[in-house]
Chain A
Amino acid sequence: MNTGGLDSIILTLVTFTPAIGALLLLLIPRRDRDIRVFSLIISLLTFGASLHLVARVHRWQGGFWYEIDKPWISMPNIHYHMGVDGISMWLVLLTTFLTPLCVLISWKSIHERVKEFFILLLVLETALIGVFTSLDLFLFYFFWESTLIPMALLIGIYGHGHKVYAAVKFFLYTMVASVFMLAAVLWLYAKVGSFDFVTIQNAIRTGQVVGFATAAPWLFLGFFLAFAVKVPLFPFHTWLPDAHVEAPTAGSVLLAGVLLKMGTYGLLRFNLGLFPEQSRQNAPWICTLALIGIVYGALVAMVQPNLKRVIAYSSVSHLGFVVLGIFSFTQAGLNGATFVMLAHGVSTGALFMLAGIIYERKHTYEIAEMGGLATPMPKYATFFLFITLSSVGLPLLNGFVGEFLVLSGAFQANPWYGAIGATGVIWSACYLLWMYQRVFFGKVTHAENNSLPDLDSREQLALWPTAVAALVMGVAPLLWLNIIDPAVQVALTPFAQVVSKAVGQ
């Protein structure tokens, strides 16, 4: 579906606007204010450009939109092939939506090496958008790896505490896992002669790949490992709390909001898209890991003394829902998984911003140092409550829709999955509300907290969009689901075939 003109270059424009902005930032003199304003303008321009994707979207239509396919390197056969469907388009939008907020929230908290910070942030944005728009496996890997360095530097330079340890751990975990994906990608290229996602997919479906039957389980694992570490799925999650706690606020927002979704998106697009049969065979243990992640993440979150760690472990739990939804292979499950990705991006992004705001004032995340904050900071408490409720999954807010769909999909696949998964919703209410109670309710436990200033207008400006998005997503989820659903149906076609094959026999 290519109407030419702006539609054919819009993805390139959205992807590379931040990178061009980063290049221009190199040339701007070191006046911190100018740099901040410039970064904000660039990120808003990117967001504006990405709105074009929604404006021109063709509802009820599967397949890829806004495609651009140009040869980049001829030997090996690498194409600059980009395109989005209903799933990846929303993830692109999530990225462009969160980045301006990251710029706003870092306005004052970053006061050293400001220029480098915003350069890294914008480069990271380009890499993240690139991951979601690439349809060439090589290009995908290219962007995938490109996210590593800016994120690691953001954590390692601008973080606090054991920031270097966290940065190196983050880097090594994801780097080691993704080389296995590279090996799998190279194997596919060696057999198919193309990196093009659609071409490889067709070759696999029509059985033209020599030796695929024996290699497929390993290829599946190669991709799976890279994505599972990124999600992070239960036994691979240990880098996440460290990275989150030590990262600067903007780093946490993008890490939780978008970076983790690279993993779930990868599972959905590549593991399901390329290896449907292996996905089905491996689904039981993957779902088990996802369920363990849901419950374990929630239980661990409950006992954390540190605000950011609570949110970090809540991510482990919520992302477990996404994986469960994806590997339920049901329409509701996949729709829900995609919706949880978006909802989690908005609400956890907002939670990290809120945690960052209190850190700017108190220079600690320890819950014990807070208590009764609702009295000195009423606006802050209100925003926090609203976002907490959306994260808990209160009906009419964004968290509810996705989790409900995932659970109904999981019930269809296996009632046990649904039953155990449903406890996760209860757990998340426990730890989030308990945390809220300890931080905000009661008397002010520390006298110095009485003088904490409430939100200023810049902070409110950063928080309002997330609150509005949480509400709109909760009230009118069909605005999103109508676009997601056709893509999900396309993703599920091979599974329908597998089922019909099984029934036919």
Chain B
Amino acid sequence: MNPGQMAQNIPVAADYVRILPEIVLSIFGMAIMVLDPLLHEENSQKMLGGIGLLGTLAGLVSTWIMAQSPGLAFWNMVRADGFSVFFHVVIIAIAVVLILTSYEYMAVQRIRAGEYYGLILLGLVGMCLMSSAVELVLIFIALEISSISTYILAGFRRRAATSSESSLKYFLLGSFATAFFLYGVALMFGATGSTNIDEISATLNAGNVSTLAYVAVALMFVGLGFKVAAAPFHIWTPDVYEGAPAPIVGFMSTAPKAAAFAVLLRVLFEANAPGRFWLIWISAALSMTLGNVAALVQTNVKRLLAYSSIAHAGYILVAFAAKPDLGAPAIMFYTAAYGAMNVGAFAVVSHLANAGERYVSVDDYAGLGRRSPVLAGALTVFLISLIGIPITGGFFAKFYVFSAALQSNLVILTVIGVINSAIGAYYYLRLIVAMYMREPQEEVPVTSIPFPLAAALAIALAATIDLGVLPESVLRFVQRSGQELVRQERMVPLQQTKASEITAPSR
């Protein structure tokens, strides 16, 4: 379409419905920012957190409304489909757990800052938009919205030097990475003459693949590889995760990652990016191996989980190397399962960390099984899920990824992955061993579990176990929407007719 035509088009109501979650989340986010200075500092926290929670719940409801009217919006820049609905739900649900966990954490750390909740909601806007954008420039903007709020959130433990280090490091390296992504977008425009994923896909499928397109894919992969903490772009992860507030780490390692994986799915699978196979193959093998091996020697739980998140990014990348129609559903399921178990694990870590995050080493977890059976039990379930043992979501997640890989004849990569998941068992087990089988050396205080945290744990546990016992419904959904995503040849004409439908009434 030409720009002149576009200017005539005024967005119709359906367009707004298709970005309703983003609108709702923005309104709530800004409302928190505006209300913050008006409220008395002493009791503002609960109130603002409550608004934040309400905002996420409203976001979930509006996602449901969005799901009722699938299609393209805003001149083919946004697509509401099963795929984006799925990631909206995953990302917002993670935020619900995060906000519930943050109540107590913020009080214990004595951080009084209402903008914390505002930033979470605004970050969500970016992440949600990342999952529904089909226009590279919009994806870039969404990526920046999401990144900038996470940069700030990483630095919220203002009294701790490590937190500032974390924030600054994340910011500098993150901007560097997004620059790579932007460069890739520019080259892709040069190679195909478009920044719209469907048009890029049509051009690439037609057979005119220039060298420029290969470079563009590689550069975009570097940018997104950073965001998902895939090796060799993972160097920032342990330091940033160690310094950032524990609940935010749980959030950072799941929601923005899920969004970045959504973008990767769109860029690599929907646009059918050329020359991606070996990039992914090597990155997947490296991420799994480096992440797991480095995690073996960690003594800080946050660093341990940081390396574990690198390893899990590797497992997900294995599915990116598989055939798209098999890989896409496996990836979607994995992000959901990983979101549930990791955000849950960090909820426990946040609670135990106590004032100033004093207790975050593996030794501090010694004897937890005796002092707090509930917390230890919950953490055990999350860790078992991270290992990938049955009756948890992590098991099916790994299972689908590896079976997709084997069905695509990626035998060597599967074997690497399978060996890695055995190595991974060791360091998660170390934590379980510490909790149940070792005596505490130092008296680590365990406070009682407040109601919001209990709710957060209950949600994460329910999701982890539900995905491990009755994955059927989620699986059907990701099958359908994942295959819809990769079914290129049908999507292109379909989307062109949609575009004309949108232009027609406004004329």
- The stretch among B156-164, B230-238, B471-479 that forms the contact with chain A is B471-479
- Cα–Cα, bound, A276→B274 (Å): 44
- The stretch among B66-74, B199-207, B299-307, B418-426 that forms the contact with chain A is B418-426
Q: With A73-B475, A168-B429, A171-B429 as given contacts, are A180 and B390 in contact (CB-CB < 8 Å)?
A: no
- The stretch among A185-193, A228-236, A366-374 that forms the contact with chain B is A185-193
Contact at B475–A187, with CB atoms within 8 Å? no
Contact at A75–B390, with CB atoms within 8 Å? no
Confirm or deny: A145 has a beta carbon within 8 angstroms of a beta carbon on chain B: yes
Interchain nearest-CB distance for A477 vs B (Å): 36
A-side contacts of B403, CB under 8 Å: 76, 186, 189-190
The 6 closest A-B pairs by CB, nearest first: A156-B437, A176-B422, A142-B390, A190-B407, A179-B418, A190-B406
Contact at A175–B436, with CB atoms within 8 Å? no
A172-B425, A186-B402 known; 16 other A-B pairs, CB under 8 Å?
A74-B472, A76-B400, A76-B403, A142-B391, A146-B389, A149-B384, A164-B437, A164-B438, A171-B425, A179-B422, A182-B399, A183-B415, A186-B399, A186-B406, A189-B403, A190-B407
Interchain nearest-CB distance for B409 vs A (Å): 9
A-side contacts of B389, CB under 8 Å: 145-146, 148-149
Q: List 21 A-B contacts (CB under 8 A).
A: A73-B475, A76-B403, A113-B370, A116-B373, A141-B390, A145-B395, A146-B391, A149-B384, A149-B389, A153-B436, A164-B438, A167-B433, A167-B437, A168-B429, A172-B426, A176-B419, A179-B421, A182-B399, A183-B414, A186-B406, A189-B403
Interchain nearest-CB distance for B421 vs A (Å): 6
Q: Fill in one digit per residue for B409-450: 1 if any A CB lies within 8 Å of its CB, else 0.
A: 001001100110110011001000100111000000000000
Residue of B nearest to A72 (CB): B472
- Cα–Cα, bound, A146→B468 (Å): 12
Interchain nearest-CB distance for A143 vs B (Å): 8
Interchain nearest-CB distance for A464 vs B (Å): 34
Q: Fill in one digit per residue for A115-136: 1 if any B CB lies within 8 Å of its CB, else 0.
A: 0100000000000000000000
A-side contacts of B411, CB under 8 Å: 187
- Cα–Cα, bound, A148→B332 (Å): 28
Contact at B479–A75, with CB atoms within 8 Å? yes
Dominant secondary structure at the A interface: helix
B390 in complex: contacting residue of A145, A163, A168, A176, CB < 8 Å? A145
B-side contacts of A420, CB under 8 Å: none
Of residues 147 to 167 in A, which have CB atoms within 8 Å of B's CB atoms? Answer: 148-149, 152-153, 156-157, 163-164, 167
- Cα–Cα, bound, A169→B403 (Å): 28
Residue of B nearest to A143 (CB): B390
- Cα–Cα, bound, A149→B425 (Å): 11
Contact at B418–A156, with CB atoms within 8 Å? no
Dominant secondary structure at the B interface: helix
B-side contacts of A163, CB under 8 Å: 437
- Cα–Cα, bound, A163→B403 (Å): 36
A-side contacts of B437, CB under 8 Å: 156-157, 163-164, 167
Q: Fill in one digit per residue for A180-207: 1 if any B CB lies within 8 Å of its CB, else 0.
A: 1011001101100000000000000000
A-side contacts of B433, CB under 8 Å: 156, 164, 167-168
Q: Fill in one digit per residue for A371-400: 1 if any B CB lies within 8 Å of its CB, else 0.
A: 000000000000000000000000000000
- Cα–Cα, bound, A143→B411 (Å): 25
Contact at A175–B425, with CB atoms within 8 Å? yes
Contact at B425–A75, with CB atoms within 8 Å? no
B-side contacts of A180, CB under 8 Å: 418
Residue of B nearest to A180 (CB): B418
Of residues 60 to 76 in A, which have CB atoms within 8 Å of B's CB atoms? Answer: 72-76
How many of chain A's residues have a CB under 8 angstroms from any CB in B?
34
B-side contacts of A190, CB under 8 Å: 403, 406-407
Which of B373, B406, B419 has the largest number of chain A CB atoms within 10 A?
B406
A-side contacts of B407, CB under 8 Å: 190
Residue of A nearest to B418 (CB): A179
Contact at A175–B422, with CB atoms within 8 Å? yes
B436 in complex: contacting residue of A75, A156, A189, CB < 8 Å? A156
Residue of A nearest to B420 (CB): A179
A-side contacts of B426, CB under 8 Å: 168, 172
B-side contacts of A113, CB under 8 Å: 370
Contact at B475–A186, with CB atoms within 8 Å? no
- Cα–Cα, bound, A142→B415 (Å): 19
- Cα–Cα, bound, A267→B425 (Å): 25
Residue of B nearest to A73 (CB): B472
Contact at A157–B418, with CB atoms within 8 Å? no
Residue of A nearest to B475 (CB): A75
A-side contacts of B399, CB under 8 Å: 182, 186
Residue of B nearest to A176 (CB): B422
B-side contacts of A143, CB under 8 Å: 390
- Cα–Cα, bound, A187→B408 (Å): 10
- Cα–Cα, bound, A383→B419 (Å): 46
Q: Fill in one digit per residue for A88-129: 1 if any B CB lies within 8 Å of its CB, else 0.
A: 000000000000000000000000010010000000000000
- Cα–Cα, bound, A36→B235 (Å): 52
Which of B400, B403, B479 has the largest number of chain A CB atoms within 10 A?
B403
B-side contacts of A157, CB under 8 Å: 369, 436-437
B-side contacts of A182, CB under 8 Å: 399, 402, 418
Residue of A nearest to B425 (CB): A175
Q: With A113-B370, A168-B429 as given contacts, are A75 and B402 in contact (CB-CB < 8 Å)?
A: no
Q: Fill in one digit per residue for B391-406: 1 if any A CB lies within 8 Å of its CB, else 0.
A: 1000100011011001
Contact at B384–A179, with CB atoms within 8 Å? no
Contact at B476–A75, with CB atoms within 8 Å? yes
Residue of B nearest to A152 (CB): B429
Interchain nearest-CB distance for A380 vs B (Å): 31
Interchain nearest-CB distance for A224 vs B (Å): 16
Interchain nearest-CB distance for A137 vs B (Å): 12
- Cα–Cα, bound, A476→B395 (Å): 45
Residue of B nearest to A188 (CB): B406
Q: Fill in one digit per residue for B219-262: 1 if any A CB lies within 8 Å of its CB, else 0.
A: 00000000000000000000000000000000000000000000
Of residues 50 to 71 in B, which have CB atoms within 8 Å of A's CB atoms? Answer: none
A-side contacts of B418, CB under 8 Å: 179-180, 182-183
A-side contacts of B406, CB under 8 Å: 183, 186-187, 190
- Cα–Cα, bound, A71→B415 (Å): 29
Interchain nearest-CB distance for A225 vs B (Å): 12
B471 in complex: contacting residue of A73, A183, A186, CB < 8 Å? A73
Residue of A nearest to B387 (CB): A175
- Cα–Cα, bound, A143→B390 (Å): 8
B-side contacts of A172, CB under 8 Å: 422, 425-426, 429
Interchain nearest-CB distance for A187 vs B (Å): 6
- Cα–Cα, bound, A148→B411 (Å): 26
B-side contacts of A187, CB under 8 Å: 406, 411
Q: Fill in one digit per residue for A13-42: 1 if any B CB lies within 8 Å of its CB, else 0.
A: 000000000000000000000000000000
A-side contacts of B400, CB under 8 Å: 76
Interchain nearest-CB distance for A239 vs B (Å): 14
Interchain nearest-CB distance for B374 vs A (Å): 11
Interchain nearest-CB distance for A298 vs B (Å): 32
Interchain nearest-CB distance for B210 vs A (Å): 35
- Cα–Cα, bound, A143→B395 (Å): 12
Q: Fill in one digit per residue for B272-298: 1 if any A CB lies within 8 Å of its CB, else 0.
A: 000000000000000000000000000
A-side contacts of B429, CB under 8 Å: 152, 168, 171-172
Contact at A183–B436, with CB atoms within 8 Å? no
A-side contacts of B384, CB under 8 Å: 149
A-side contacts of B421, CB under 8 Å: 179
A-side contacts of B414, CB under 8 Å: 183, 186
A-side contacts of B370, CB under 8 Å: 113
A-side contacts of B438, CB under 8 Å: 164
Interchain nearest-CB distance for B86 vs A (Å): 16
- Cα–Cα, bound, A76→B472 (Å): 9
Interchain nearest-CB distance for A185 vs B (Å): 9
- Cα–Cα, bound, A145→B398 (Å): 14
A183 in complex: contacting residue of B369, B373, B391, B402, CB < 8 Å? B402
Residue of A nearest to B415 (CB): A183
Interchain nearest-CB distance for A181 vs B (Å): 10
Interchain nearest-CB distance for B193 vs A (Å): 38
